[in-house]
A and B are shown apart, each in its own frame.
Chain A
């Protein structure tokens, strides 16, 4: 008997004929007819009209026929809900059938019929089946609860099915346990906060027992569920790991990967100096290598996961480079992934082998693969310095092949090599220039132009080369145009005499003939720079570029941690969090690795050994315990109770920025109201380098950040408050620049240009208002209120001294007790005139940070002694820790990534900042005023994550991740620092800055 004949019926009166056959008395004929119906259904014909007739066939003791009818029902019940009710009776009856196979079949099918009316009838049979004596029925019923929950979650909760399901975790049959775990896990996913999967050591033990006995699929369900558990301590963690490791020898790759997931996660909690930790690391490598002998699709999944594992724990596979060598017959997707991992594992030890392989690959057929191989050679050069020379010569060999795409790819990577090793390999430029004509891809053209511009002084005919590109300027892609503009400006700055014409040509092409705002903006900026201050232009355009990092394409640490928790799943294949590709509430929860316990790494602390050594502290300054306590109670952060003169909260910097902003906005608005589309202004600045009167750039606010010039170096700030140079560049006469502006923005444009996209300029330093430090009644009539400010890298203590006594006060002096960061007066307290009764005087005391160190509690506490002609008074105050944030606290991105990874997890602390109504950009601006620098920003699902760094005056770096959810006034901040003690203070500072 063959069933294929059913696929071929295409007659016209088919439905009618089928109807007759379905109602036939003969069982065989009936069955044949149902088969035909199913076949039609499969190929996509609508056979829903036969619903009543098919349902009529349901009552049969022939299991095969029954299954077919059920299949039909599952497909069409939803479109015919009223008729589907007809089937309910049979289902209920089948759930009582003596044959467990039929009971299970009925309950399984009923769960698949997504009709509300039917679900009501489903509850009773389901309840019975969950307690059925036969395990086969119970395991089917367990899954059915998940089905029902998908249709009507409330119903499942109301009926108490969840509790029954939880009970099944203790079932005697391993498969029932596995299905119950699967169902519960799925339900728990849609209730992120419910404690549905109440994992405790007892349940974990049950799961581990079932793990040894159930099917391969059940083992996967259980392992995936285990991965969500967080053990209480390292001991529990180890004992679970011990019971999971045997799974690494399972033939099913999914079991192996899920076991790897559990181990990778729980390993975080094990102390690194534990013997078992090392054993475990060793045990992980062989199964991962074995996965590479599976079928290609699984190899692909495994490789994507290994890519993550290698980033998180490079030590596991560092000796296994060879197994990632590409085989001739590997499918392309396996080849590409292997290549990625090879680069990650490349080190000085194996670089020779890797290079030999890569060179082979560069001669293969698949274009993508060849390109990637060429790119990989470049990455090796950057990663392993010793190999750079060989890599360059390999690349030159490849350029000699003249294969178009190989040449182009090679030039792109050689550009990066130049960046990494400046002044080393420039001898190859000549070879590169020979291939100028064959470049047809924008990236390669842009790279070549960058090289020519960067080394213009060594290339005799640089001007000719660039000029040749200029001919087709308007046909080039933006990337190339921008690069060409920059390169010609560089050339001009290096060889001003011969290239004036060229630079004018490109500037006018960029500013007048282009519709691209990025290009125009950059053109105008160069123009203004060149015309106002060529020296500054030189400093900006020819500035030394930061080195590029060794590792590329690293996944961000937080995302990596999350993906490690998703090993084996789609998320680990896509390298994206589940929320990026799963709709609805499922999978939105972000998983994180647990923090490790008692890691053996030494922790730096701010009170270094020197603290103990310094004993000659001024004895007078130590206040009595009682005084201190009282003072603490009166302490800071509350609004000032006395009104002194207006606090100098807004520094010059802030004022300047505001002025500029105001001015810029005004003129912008003015411009908009004017009729011509690009209004011209007449006050063209004198341009000594450009003798011709050029049409002046209009007052124009750069709105968007242009794509980075030299590999992301020159990026523009987001708004007009961009800084002094831009201020001058856009019409404001240089003299109008606030004088104080020069200092805070040290290195002016460099800093400005370094800002990442979307991050605006700082809005100014926040300085806390003055508070009363020493009330008059405790100091015989002397009241001191004060605050700390940091200006231009100098910390000042600003005080208002008020005489509330009856006599004149003179002879003021001040001393500090030893404190956590070595703050000390940099000079004497300057109160020159005697202070008469009811008079106030302002005093500013510059502070240094080189004083004696002693750890204080709280960390930012400062004990002060003030002397005058009457007595010595003691008080203590707390300074905002931001006073100690250095101006050079901006970490390089790659350094940040590496440092973040490097700092052990238990040094991380997390805080909530409540009721803050700033968006992330505003927050970032505000924080930057306090020398908290935003390094990168990432937006995931409406949540902005700001990565920030700051450096304390004593050289301690603090790294922060600030999460800002649009519409949610509560921020989450994670701080990582080698000296975790400072975290609390830093957090308080964040809160203070953000809320003011």
Chain B
């Protein structure tokens, strides 16, 4: 298991060091614990942080000791071990560690770490025992790791803490009360596309997340429903045939999804229903991937003509492909230009376009654009004559945007809340749903 955990600043100075196992130091003349630990600390600094080359692997083996590291801004977190540990677990733990620290004191920076080092030690003592990760849900940790100490707790309170930390629902504490029971669901999708110049889709997929902010009292039992094809088809069998046909049209095929640990996976596996007791506040309920029937919000039609050896004519049309009532925002089209470009003249119907020599591209920005519209840009690119035989590779035209719907077609059908002990019902909960589709890697070859 994890033998030790170190946090370094960008210079390689140790900010936090916590050793869980003796074995991680090197054999040294001096058997003092501190001395051994420092050897491991130094080995990482010399071999990774101060290494001349770019980091070639997130796992480094130095003298039979393995170092796992992740970097957050200019802070290095390193876990050290001499055993055959579960590598995936170590990285998951390091990410979790970052989440916990962020939840406690905000951004992970040298200053914040120094300001909170006692807290960090306390957290490390709790979430990692002998190198084994323990409950690391912020919701639970915050009940008993505070910087105020835990004086004056009653016996009930104490046992409530321990049962929560060790219990089945480690991510939520009991006795949460809100005057207004409210929840927000964000369906955040990023749509990725690679299209040929002829408009043929080479590859397209959507990776989406459902993020939930819950402000609910008690221990509410929630059930989340979406237009998952498998579920709809199953229900469709029982319902009238025309109804099934109608709903089947709107359902989507999900390639794969993963869930926050609060979701009962065995239930999802058997019934495909998503039921859970949510953590308090913001968290990611699920992630999913789809590849079928994706709504591509924009189509890019490029036309590049080489006029002689010193001139290129480029015309790009973009067409928006969604309901006219919706508005896409933050649209940016990036048209690459050859390295030997000497000058560019651009005319665009909408928005602003500029040639950015440092980026070798024409960047065309449009603030807003409604559905079912089209816009066009034409540019004349003057080239310096070169004797370079190598042809210009014509990198793809890429695009960025944000649209207020889910390109995968995912729809939230319901989110039911049941809390039997407290006197509020599903109807009393105020629910908000929002869909945001963003461009991932959205490229058209030209």
Contact = CB atoms under 8 A, between A and B. Distances in A.
A68 interface: yes
A213 interface: yes
A29 to B, nearest CB: 16
B70 A254 contact: no
Interface string A293-330: 10111101110000000000000000000100101100
Interface in B86-129: 86-89, 91-95, 111, 114-118, 121-122, 125, 129
A593 to B, nearest CB: 17
B116 A175 contact: no
A70 to B, nearest CB: 8
B313 interface: no
Interface string B71-92: 0000000000111111111011
A407 interface: no
Contact of B258 (A43, A287, A574): A287
Contacts of B70: 295, 297
Interface stretch (B151-159, B365-373, B415-423): B151-159
Contact of A569 (B87, B129, B170, B287): B87
B135 A67 contact: no
Interface stretch (A140-148, A430-438, A657-665): A140-148
B441 A327 contact: yes
A64 interface: yes
B195 to A, nearest CB: 14
Contacts of A39: 117
Given A220-B86, A254-B88, A79 B118 contact: no
Interface residues of A, number: 111
B20 to A, nearest CB: 8
A135 interface: yes
A179 interface: yes
A100 B88 CA distance: 32
A217 B135 CA distance: 8
Contact of B122 (A64, A136, A212): A64
Given A63-B150, A252-B92, A108 B15 contact: no
A298 B91 contact: yes
A728 interface: no
A174 B168 contact: yes
Interface in A476-533: none
Interface string B157-180: 011011101111010000000000
Interface stretch (A121-129, A577-585, A917-925): A577-585
Contact of A43 (B13, B66, B89, B91): B13
Contacts of B1: 182, 186
Given A67-B121, A570-B66, A587-B83, A216 B261 contact: yes
Interface string B249-291: 0000001111111001110110000000000000010110100
Given A108-B129, A215-B135, A587-B83, A4 B111 contact: yes
A250 to B, nearest CB: 6
A41 B170 CA distance: 33
B129 A246 contact: no
Given A136-B165, A247-B265, A581-B61, A98 B203 contact: no
A332 interface: yes
Nearest to A174: B168
A416 interface: no
Contacts of B38: 44
Interface in A350-402: 363, 400-401
Interface string B121-144: 110010001101111110000001
A213 B168 contact: yes
A877 B135 CA distance: 70
B258 A583 contact: no
Interface in A325-347: 325, 327-328, 331-333
A134 interface: yes
A293 B289 contact: yes
Contact of A136 (B15, B34, B57, B162): B162
A61 B38 CA distance: 32
B16 A101 contact: no
A583 B64 contact: yes
A213 B262 CA distance: 10
B149 A63 contact: yes
B377 to A, nearest CB: 23
A948 interface: no
A143 B132 contact: yes
A245 B166 contact: no
A249 B159 contact: no
Nearest to B41: A44
A272 interface: no
Interface string B26-46: 000001111000100100000
B399 to A, nearest CB: 15
Contact of B129 (A140, A258, A400, A583): A140
Contacts of B260: 251
A99 B158 CA distance: 7
A732 interface: no
Contacts of A673: none
A61 B150 CA distance: 10
A221 B132 contact: yes
B246 interface: no
B interface bracket (residues with beta carbon within 8 Å of A): 35 or more
B259 A76 contact: no
Interface in A206-252: 212-217, 220-221, 224, 243, 245-247, 249-252
A571 B15 CA distance: 30
A224 B88 CA distance: 12
Contacts of B149: 62-64
A4 B115 contact: yes
B118 A38 contact: yes
Contacts of B57: 300, 333
A289 B165 contact: no
Nearest to A104: B162
Interface in A75-111: 75-76, 78-79, 98-101, 104, 108, 111
A650 B286 CA distance: 75
B393 interface: yes
Contact of A363 (B54, B147, B255, B393): B393
B56 interface: yes
Contact of B118 (A35, A101, A146, A182): A35
B22 interface: yes
B329 interface: no
Contact of B121 (A71, A213, A300): A71
A35 B41 CA distance: 21
B442 interface: no
A290 B256 contact: yes
B16 A42 contact: yes
B207 interface: yes
B85 A570 contact: yes
Interface string A129-155: 000001111011001101100100000
B207 A293 contact: yes
B168 A79 contact: no
Interface in B178-216: 203, 207
Given A293-B287, A573-B59, A574-B61, A246 B269 contact: yes
Given A42-B117, A246-B266, A300-B58, A139 B158 contact: no
A820 interface: no
A43 B163 CA distance: 36
B427 interface: no
A249 B268 contact: yes
B144 A101 contact: yes
B390 interface: yes
B243 to A, nearest CB: 29
Given A79-B33, A249-B256, A298-B91, 14 more contacts: A41-B34, A79-B34, A99-B153, A135-B163, A136-B166, A137-B162, A220-B86, A247-B265, A251-B258, A251-B259, A290-B287, A296-B58, A297-B69, A583-B82
5 contacts: A173-B167, A212-B265, A217-B93, A246-B265, A570-B83
* Ranked 4 nearest A-B pairs via Cβ: A286-B256, A136-B162, A4-B114, A246-B269
